[in-house]
A and B are shown apart, each in its own frame.
Chain A
Amino acid sequence: GDSVTQMEGPVTLSEEAFLTINCTYTATGYPSLFWYVQYPGEGLQLLLKATKADDKGSNKGFEATYRKETTSFHLEKGSVQVSDSAVYFCALVQAAGNKLTFGGGTRVLVKP
């Protein structure tokens, strides 16, 4: 079945540091790929998505590129802020699928 693997946290960074969270997936066909974020005390919300190979999703300074050849969708941000402290989830939906399949989540803590 489909699966998503992302790097374990917690990831602790200083403000303005570069952030990368690795995400790889196993799926047949051409899934859509997503990054969701869960800020402290809040619900899951979509951060960005990509629907086909080589697409780049971007939002709030975060970027991720759909790499079919490496089955990856790594999340990056060039300069993090304290407000980026959250849990980040990589996820996929199959082309004809009915559900999101999530990775285990990566907790990110940004210190001032």
Chain B
Amino acid sequence: GAGVSQTPSNKVTEKGKYVELRCDPISGHTALYWYRQSLGQGPEFLIYFQGTGAADDSGLPNDRFFAVRPEGSVSTLKIQRTERGDSAVYLCASSFQGARETQYFGPGTRLLVL
């Protein structure tokens, strides 16, 4: 079956602009996660959805970052007033129910803020 997909695969924007990153999880997976991976580092947790609600957003770095999952499937990560330090690969993952199960990762969106 189809895996986790993310669009766009690459995004180049200018400092101060707004960006949206999209994640399509595996069908039937209720749990969805966003991570951020900087060059040469491991992924860092941003936010976790269980169904439509954000069950844990403790990893969001500041209020410029926001994510939604209005119908419990597709999720969008939104970054306002982008900064150069936001440049990273943004990874989405989904699992059937919870975090202790296998999380299936998408290919990521590479964001470059100029």
Interface window among B13-21, B40-48, B72-80:
B40-48
Whether the pair A45, B105 counts as a contact (CB closer than 8 A) is yes
Within the assembled complex, what's the spacing in Å between the Cα atoms of A4 and B107?
23
Interface window among A12-20, A62-70, A72-80, A100-108:
A100-108
Whether the pair A44, B100 counts as a contact (CB closer than 8 A) is no
Q: For B106, what are the chain A residues with a Cβ–Cβ distance below 8 Å?
A: 43
Whether the pair B43, A44 counts as a contact (CB closer than 8 A) is yes
Choose from B35, B41, B45, B55 the contact partner of A105 (Cβ within 8 Å): B41
Within the assembled complex, what's the spacing in Å between the Cα atoms of A7 and B38?
18
Whether the pair B44, A44 counts as a contact (CB closer than 8 A) is no
Using a Cβ–Cβ cut-off of 8 Å, how many residues does chain A contribute to the interface with B? Answer: 23
Instruction: Write the chain A residue with the least CB distance to B98.
Output: A98
A72 smallest CB distance to B (angstroms):
17
Instruction: Write the chain A residue with the least CB distance to B49.
Output: A98
Whether the pair B100, A32 counts as a contact (CB closer than 8 A) is yes
Within the assembled complex, what's the spacing in Å between the Cα atoms of A42 and B100?
23
Give the A-B contact count at a CB cut-off of 8 A. Answer: 58
Using a Cβ–Cβ cut-off of 8 Å, how many residues does chain B contribute to the interface with A? Answer: 25
Whether the pair B99, A100 counts as a contact (CB closer than 8 A) is yes
Whether the pair B48, A89 counts as a contact (CB closer than 8 A) is no
Tell me if B102 is interfacial: C-beta within 8 Å of chain A.
Answer: yes
Q: For A60, what are the chain B residues with a Cβ–Cβ distance below 8 Å?
A: none
Within the assembled complex, what's the spacing in Å between the Cα atoms of A31 and B102?
14
Whether the pair B43, A100 counts as a contact (CB closer than 8 A) is yes
Within the assembled complex, what's the spacing in Å between the Cα atoms of A97 and B99?
7
A81 smallest CB distance to B (angstroms):
23
Choose from A43, A49, A51, A104 the contact partner of B41 (Cβ within 8 Å): A104
Q: Which residues of A contact B (CB under 8 A)?
A: 4, 32, 36, 42-46, 49, 51, 89, 91, 93, 95, 97-105
26 contacts between A and B (CB under 8 A): A32-B100, A43-B106, A43-B108, A45-B105, A89-B43, A93-B99, A93-B100, A95-B100, A97-B99, A98-B48, A98-B55, A99-B33, A99-B45, A99-B56, A99-B99, A100-B33, A100-B45, A100-B103, A102-B42, A102-B44, A103-B42, A104-B41, A104-B42, A105-B40, A105-B41, A105-B42
